[in-house]
Structure 1
Amino acid sequence: MERRIDNKKDNLEENFKKIKFVLWVILFANLGVALIKILVGYMINSVSLSTDGVHSMSDSLSNVVGLVGITIASKPVDKEHPYGHKKSEIIASMFIGCMLLFLGSKTLFNGFYRFINPKDVSITLISVISLILTICINIFVTVYERKKGEEYNSFILISDSIHTKSDIFISVGVLVSLVGIKLGLPQSIDSIISIVISLFILRASYEIFKESIGVLLDKAIIEEEKIIEVLNSFSEVKDIHKIRSRGSENEVYIDMHIMINPNTTTEQSHQLSHNIEREMKNKINPNCQVIIHVEPYYKK
């Protein structure tokens, strides 16, 4: 038993190290993208491109918040925190949502201001090339981060990939505005695109808040039907009730009441509980922690 606990602890520590590495990679990628957009936006006087650059900079800040959250979440269990510190990852995601909410609101205001007080936007080949380059980088970042988030069951990586994914659509919108102005559309198209960008940012904020709050409020994370399906594979289980689940993808808590033959020994009940937990880990989530309350079953 002690060896199994040590192995689980080692796996968690290794998982946190991998998540940190991904966040560092994404941090430097986002910083590069942000600097390109802000500098080129300043050079050509494009509010939508500069706004997009600020949004990309927020991606970098969110990576820093993620690193802090993961560092705290990786702390071992102690007397005051018997369930560990893993919800720090969820709190870090909430900070990312707050940052996006602030930036989205500010971007919306700036877009309306520039619509009322328009300025000429100069289009250059370098601005178009830089946008195409940043779109390619953002596609890599989003796919890479989402893939690793699912592989490591990391809430912060999956949440941050939602944040970064909006950059792809935003950058495409900015590119369309620059090309549109070049083709003769009014300068106001740049402000309109900036307003649309703000809506993407606010939507990303909403998605992150929705997922984070769900975990903090112990929203059911596993469909009850899936749990019943696993339990039905055990002939010893005669009845099931009070099924509950909570947590996040990297740490799922499931508890339930099962009814079995009253003549079953304590040792047999104990072994059955272990078998059910193992099957839950295999078929539902490898990070399941299962608590089973055993009751005697009497035919009515």
Structure 2
Amino acid sequence: MKIVFMGTPDFSVPVLEALVEAGHEVVAVYSQPPRPAGRGKKDRPSPVQARAEELGLPVRHPVSLKGTPEQDEFAALGADVAVVVAYGLILPQAVLDAPEHGCLNIHASLLPRWRGAAPIHRAIMAGDTETGVCIMQMEAGLDTGPVLLRQATEIGATETTGELHDWLSAIGAKMIVEALARLDELVPEPQHEDGVTYASKIDKAEARIDWTRGSAEIVRQINGLSPFPGAWTEADGERIKCLRAAVTLQDIPAGDVRVLAGELHVGSGDEAVSILTLQRAGKKAGDVAVVTQGWTPPQRFS
């Protein structure tokens, strides 16, 4: 099929690769414009643009698709279908209607739960035990379109957003290839109105840990915000990121730190939190047993 691919971050790259490997003709790749990044703040292309250029695919990165010239250029590609995954721009109706089979979106949740920008983070932070991927026929609403395919997967007790992100990306890549192969036989399933939730964008203000909260809630915060932006705490003026955690049955005052059998435990509002992975300021992240070598942990986190 003639495909327009629309995506921007790392999550989208395996999908693009799968489409090319499956033999589809990617007539154009749309991605967010290069952004300043790194110490020099030089413009850096998105992960999708970088991979597309390696594959020899034409890349476009308009700032908006609301203008008639941009919409006409899109329609002129004559695509059979557009595949959209974490693109980052709203698609006007003229763009949605241009491909013969419309626009298909790969969404990292079991719709209608977690429509919106941060479904992976929010699923872990909410304590969901299951999530998945949906292939959705796009329409004007925010992730409201009918679903063509869905696949569920469990969320592990200490699974981080980074790990789940990679797994769901791989699932989505396989699913879109299947969906395109079966496009004529798949029956779009309208989303139920019951169970709708919205995954709002992650605010960095959510990242500071309040040790007076319950241990389960803190663990979900730590794992859900790992690796980015990273839940953090302070000790002796140093900011420390906590990147993986589990609930532990210890009676420790909230915020107090104990090293027990080589493990780092922090008191919370009820039980305690075992910090499994952390990152000190200016250091690499690692397992607690490695990071704490040559470092005496503080008596308290604040």
TM-score (norm. length: structure 1): 0.28
Between structures 1 and 2, the one with greater strand share: 2
Greater C-alpha Rg: 1
Work out which structure has the larger RCO, using CA pairs closer than 8 Å and 6 or more positions apart in sequence: 1
TM-score w.r.t. structure 2 length? 0.28
